[in-house]
Amino acid sequence: MHQNFREIEREKFAIRTQTCEWTIRAMSALRAKVHINIKMHGDRDHLSQGDIFMFNHFARFETFIPQYLIALETGVFCRSIASGEFFAEDSTFSRYLRALGGVPNDYERLLPFLAEEILRGGKVVVFPEGGMVKDRRVLEAERPHPKRPDYSIYSRSADQRRAHHTGAALLGLCIDGFKVGLSMLLDKGHHDELDRWATAIDTTPEKLKIAIAKPTLMFPANITFHPLRVDQNLLARGADLFAGGLSPKVAEELIVESNLLFRQTDMDIRLGKPVDPRRQYNWIDRRMLAHRIQTATCIDDLFRPTKTLKRIPDRITQYAINRHIRPLRDHCMSVMYSNLTLNVSHLASRLIMMWLADGVTEVDIAHFDRTLYLAIKNVQQAEEIHLHRGMRNPADYVGIFDLKCPQIREYIDAAVRLGLIARSEGKYCFLPKLQQEATFDQIRMDNPIMVYANEMAPIHTAWTALEKARGDIDHLTPRDFAKRRFDDEIRAWQWNRAKYQKPKYAAINQQETATADSRPYLLLPNGSDHFTTGVLVVHGFLASPAELRTLGDRLAAKNYAVLGVRLAGHGTSPHELQKRPWTDWLASVRHSYEILSAFCDNVIIVGFSTGGALSAILAADQPEKLAGLVMASTPLKFRNRNLMFVPLLYGANKLMGWVPSAQERLSFRLNESEHPEINYRNIPIGGLHNLRQAVSEMRDRLPDIACPTLILQGDNDQVVDPASATLIKRHATNCSDIDIQILNSDRHGILNEDIDGAIDRVIDFVIKTAPTNAALIQTIPAE
């Protein structure tokens, strides 16, 4: 009869391979259509090594995503625990859930059944929160103790806060208790126990022996969404129209979760470090477990409540298991919540709550942005904290100083629409609704700021970063901010180098010959923070800051602060340059000028080739502190035949963009560079197109240049027509102090090679144009 029951059970909850495979295909097709960007972080081997995967729960479709990703990576279809209400009736939906591996949470043999599944090589997905935690509040206290956080969540059914479920911890402890006990029996020569238990679990002795040798690994994992949007969407409006009105609970879920699916949203899934329940047991526990396994008749015996056991040794053994349940659960919860993918909205929300706690109800917008920027820079330095790419890639947040940071503006705009924040006379006013209680089902709709703040609460290092930012904001100088912004320049270089090293870019990257250090550099002689004069050095097309590093070092040795700009798209991969408009190159020059200006009373810009054109465009804006401009080998006319067919190639490139292989062939041309250790070997056609546009913009802006200007040009330059020097002077009609110096050279790289005293000519111009003071050289570390 026992065997018959097991057969019925196995048949009832059998995972149907065909159903799972169809679901995976359907979800893959859906994934390609929706706008949710799913990223799995962590060691991919962990998916194959893990037995029990524990996830936090915020949206309904989360209950499908983990199994889907595990199946894609490992080929194993997981068991998962689902609400018993879905299985109350024998419907098509309940049969479908069972076919996918779903087991009702009220099934009487739930944990023993899952234990047998894992011992046979299966995997289980568990949501220890027990339901969707819509408010993201998982801590009892508003501010957690860094070493002893007290985790609990709100239960809608009980209408009170409760501890997380212990089922996953008990499951892991019992499985490893079984493995420990049986292993000890085998070590003592009780080999018949292996056969007996293999029969009971419905596996082979060989497979069971392999299973008990492997620790039962539990992987707590965190799912984080960003951003959270609560706009009334088409799906919700349509449902409301046809249904004649939705309940608040259903409306909230439909609006929030369809926004997650159908508007650009990042879903970051981060696996924590594995938790091994076996380590909980000491040598006394192991001996008792061996005895228990020898006397037990089925795996269910390990899960029986202590009070139901008659024999004292069995009770003692069960206690040895049970006393570890809560510590193990709490440890798993700590790992789960510490693997939050922290984003800018988390920091902004907690920052607002900190101000409100201090009684501050309005702050200057500039003060808010600067404090938030400092917090971002602080968390970048913190250890054991996982940052969303919006805080790792400076391109996503550097616009914060110009009110042009999309993720911050979207966050604020949403808060304004919801009546949480108001903008008034350059201030953010925090409205009373921010602190009002919201119902559990409405909080995602009514107050996403509170949801973000709650989600960040367990991350102690993030609290520290915010507190430090609030404490430092009124004491930092413009130079302190400039150093942080230069760090952003280094991070941008690192980010894009990594981004464009992916396999899909390998065909072009493997042909590249550039080996010189391509990162930007900031030289501050003698460790000083203030200089009379600084020099901004701007490299040319296809090159990197290394191109003019010798010039930079010579200037620094003369006691000038020097910043070597890295133009966007350069010093990483030709593929990045292919995708960058010339306005991004100009933005690089502007950012670097602002950074250097913080250290200097006067700034002179030295630009080579394309860098000269960009420098002239910036000089035409007549920025504050600009004292002079050097343009070396700067083009208005070209000799390089690569530029002759750019319009034709660029048009063909756009036309053939839908054919990847054709686009690759048309997108690049080989470059016979004078300096292959510095320049890209492959010229992006899109880059050449942008070069022409930049030169055209320079021509139009030349009349606006008013500062002293030095033009250096080789008399037989093979890239730039030497007539460009005279043409530039002719167009710069409002500049009364222009000196053209023609060098004896048939090379383009007159500064890089210091041809005909080119570097000394630049230094003489700098000395004549702006004063300096003596110091020694120091380089701010790049990393």
681-706 per-position pLDDT tens digit: 999 988 998 999 999 999 999 999 99
Could you give phi then psi for residue 382, rounded to 5 degrees?
-75, 150
**Neighbour tally for 101: CB within 10 Å:** 26
> Taking 60 as the threshold, does the pLDDT of residue 775 lie above it?
no
Q: Are residues 601 and 730 in the same domain?
A: yes
Residue 183 forms part of a structural domain:
yes
The reported pLDDT for the residue numbered 248 is 61
> Taking 90 as the threshold, does the pLDDT of residue 491 lie above it?
yes
Q: Using the CB atoms, write b or e for 263-273: b if 16+ within 10 Å.
A: eebbbbbbbbe
The reported pLDDT for the residue numbered 253 is 63
Would you call 535 helix, strand, or coil by DSSP? strand
Residue 17 forms part of a structural domain:
yes
> Taking 60 as the threshold, does the pLDDT of residue 256 lie above it?
yes
| Residue 89 pLDDT class (50, 70, 90 cuts) | confident
pLDDT in tens, 111-127: 999 999 999 999 999 99
| Residue 606 pLDDT class (50, 70, 90 cuts) | very high
Could you give phi then psi for residue 410, rounded to 5 degrees?
-65, -40
* Residues 63-71, mean pLDDT to the nearest whole number: 87
pLDDT in tens, 290-315: 988 999 999 999 999 888 888 888 88
**pTM (predicted TM-score):** 0.89
* Residues 329-347, mean pLDDT to the nearest whole number: 95
Tabulate helix, strand, coil % of the chain (nearest 5): 55, 15, 35
Residue 83 forms part of a structural domain:
yes
> Taking 60 as the threshold, does the pLDDT of residue 457 lie above it?
yes
The reported pLDDT for the residue numbered 205 is 94
DSSP letter, residue 100: T
H or E segment and range at residue 654: helix 646-655
> Taking 90 as the threshold, does the pLDDT of residue 405 lie above it?
no
| Cα–Cα dist 305/308, whole Å | 6
> Taking 80 as the threshold, does the pLDDT of residue 653 lie above it?
no
Q: Are residues 652 and 713 in the same domain?
A: yes
The reported pLDDT for the residue numbered 444 is 83
**Helix ranges restricted to H, 433-509:** 443-446, 448-456, 460-472, 478-499, 506-509
Nearest to 561 by CA among 602, 609, 619: 602
Which of 675 and 228 is assigned the larger pLDDT?
Answer: 675
Which of 440 and 454 is assigned the larger pLDDT?
Answer: 454
| Residue 439 pLDDT class (50, 70, 90 cuts) | confident
H or E segment and range at residue 522: strand 521-523
Please give the single-letter amino acid code of residue 26. A
| Residue 245 pLDDT class (50, 70, 90 cuts) | low
> Taking 50 as the threshold, does the pLDDT of residue 7 lie above it?
yes
> Taking 60 as the threshold, does the pLDDT of residue 246 lie above it?
no
> Taking 70 as the threshold, does the pLDDT of residue 654 lie above it?
no
Could you give phi then psi for residue 554, rounded to 5 degrees?
-65, -40
> Taking 80 as the threshold, does the pLDDT of residue 95 lie above it?
yes
Q: Are residues 319 and 346 in the same domain?
A: no
| Cα–Cα dist 183/189, whole Å | 10
Q: Are residues 661 and 555 in the same domain?
A: yes
Residue 130 Rama label (left phi>0; alpha psi -120 to 50; beta): left
The reported pLDDT for the residue numbered 553 is 98
The reported pLDDT for the residue numbered 262 is 62
C-alpha distance from residue 193 to each of 182, 299, 321, 325, 535 (Å): 7, 13, 21, 27, 80
| Residue 85 pLDDT class (50, 70, 90 cuts) | confident
Q: Are residues 588 and 685 in the same domain?
A: yes
Nearest to 770 by CA among 706, 711, 705, 708: 708
The reported pLDDT for the residue numbered 617 is 98
The reported pLDDT for the residue numbered 663 is 47
* Residues 167-177, mean pLDDT to the nearest whole number: 94
pLDDT in tens, 562-576: 999 999 999 999 999
Residue 767 Rama label (left phi>0; alpha psi -120 to 50; beta): alpha
State the pairing for strand pair 421-424/427-430. antiparallel
Percent of the chain at pLDDT above 70?
90
C-alpha distance from residue 488 to each of 215, 407, 493, 549, 573 (Å): 43, 17, 9, 20, 19
> CB-side exposure of 741: number of CA atoms within 13 Å?
19
* Residues 163-169, mean pLDDT to the nearest whole number: 93
> Given 335, 363, 393, which residue is the final one in a domain?
335
Q: Are residues 317 and 345 in the same domain?
A: no
The reported pLDDT for the residue numbered 260 is 65
Which of 649 and 108 is assigned the larger pLDDT?
Answer: 108
Least confident of 95-109, 252-266, 519-533: 252-266
Q: Are residues 325 and 359 in the same domain?
A: no
769 contact partners, CB below 8 Å, separation of at least 6: 604, 627, 628, 708
Burial of residue 26, with CB atoms counted within 10 A of its CB: 0-12 exposed, 13-18 middle, 19 or more buried: exposed
| Residue 644 pLDDT class (50, 70, 90 cuts) | very low
Q: Are residues 453 and 330 in the same domain?
A: no
Q: Are residues 360 and 468 in the same domain?
A: yes
The reported pLDDT for the residue numbered 254 is 61
Least confident of 128-142, 269-283, 486-500: 128-142
Residue 202 forms part of a structural domain:
yes
Please give the single-letter amino acid code of residue 270. R
CA dihedral 470, 472, 476, 479 (to 10 degrees): -90
| Residue 677 pLDDT class (50, 70, 90 cuts) | very high
| Cα–Cα dist 718/429, whole Å | 60
Least confident of 76-80, 137-141, 216-220, 615-619: 137-141
| Residue 658 pLDDT class (50, 70, 90 cuts) | very low
Q: Are residues 108 and 247 in the same domain?
A: yes
| Cα–Cα dist 136/288, whole Å | 41
Averaged confidence pLDDT in the chain? 88
| Residue 82 pLDDT class (50, 70, 90 cuts) | confident
| Cα–Cα dist 435/671, whole Å | 61
The reported pLDDT for the residue numbered 518 is 97
Q: Are 537 and 551 in contact, with CB atoms under 8 Å apart?
A: yes
Q: How many domains does the chain have?
A: 3
Q: Are 58 and 133 in contact, with CB atoms under 8 Å apart?
A: yes
| Cα–Cα dist 456/463, whole Å | 8
Q: Are 718 and 639 in contact, with CB atoms under 8 Å apart?
A: yes
Residue 492 forms part of a structural domain:
no
Which residues face 503 on adjacent strands?
none
- How large is the C-alpha radius of gyration of the chain? 33
> Taking 80 as the threshold, does the pLDDT of residue 236 lie above it?
no
105 contact partners, CB below 8 Å, separation of at least 6: 81, 82, 83, 84
The reported pLDDT for the residue numbered 440 is 80
The reported pLDDT for the residue numbered 640 is 65
pLDDT in tens, 732-769: 999 999 999 999 999 999 999 999 999 999 999 999 99
Residue 140 forms part of a structural domain:
no
Residue 549 forms part of a structural domain:
yes
Residue 272 forms part of a structural domain:
yes
C-alpha distance from residue 183 to each of 197, 200, 216 (Å): 12, 16, 14
Q: Are residues 678 and 728 in the same domain?
A: yes
Q: Are residues 417 and 310 in the same domain?
A: no
Q: What is the CATH number of the domain that holds 705?
A: 3.40.50.1820
The reported pLDDT for the residue numbered 446 is 87
CA dihedral 40, 41, 45, 47 (to 10 degrees): -50
DSSP per position, 235-264: HHHHHHHHHT---HHHHHHHHHHHHHHHS-
**Interaxial angle between packed helices 685-701 and 610-620, expressed in degrees from 0 to 180 and rounded to the nearest 10:** 40
Nearest to 164 by CA among 140, 199, 185: 140
- Residue range of the domain that includes 516: 510-769
| Residue 659 pLDDT class (50, 70, 90 cuts) | very low
Least confident of 46-55, 79-88, 369-378: 79-88
